[in-house]
Amino acid sequence: MADAADIATERECILRQEALARLHAARGAQRTSLASRATCEECGDPIPQARRAAVPGVRLCITCQKELEA
């Protein structure tokens, strides 16, 4: 069973992870070229989660990507 010190350590660890997550999110927002977009850069349509997972850093929906490659 966890004592007070364990609980305090765990809470501090969680707070630190949350702070790091916020920092990474802020950095990610600045470097959008590396992050997959939730919406298409061209038409603004939502990009399906499967496509975002399959194509790291994806910026266009399938329709716009095809038009670009055509």
Contacts with Zn ion, residue ranges (CB under 5 A): 40, 42-43, 45, 61, 64
Distance CA 15, CA 38 (A): 27
65: buried, middle or exposed (CB in 10 Å: 19+, 13-18, 0-12)? Answer: middle
- The DSSP H or E segment spanning 6 is helix 4-30
Least gap, CB of 4 to Zn ion (angstroms): 54
Residue closer to Zn ion (CB basis): 18 or 45: 45
Least gap, CB of 45 to Zn ion (angstroms): 5
Least gap, CB of 60 to Zn ion (angstroms): 5
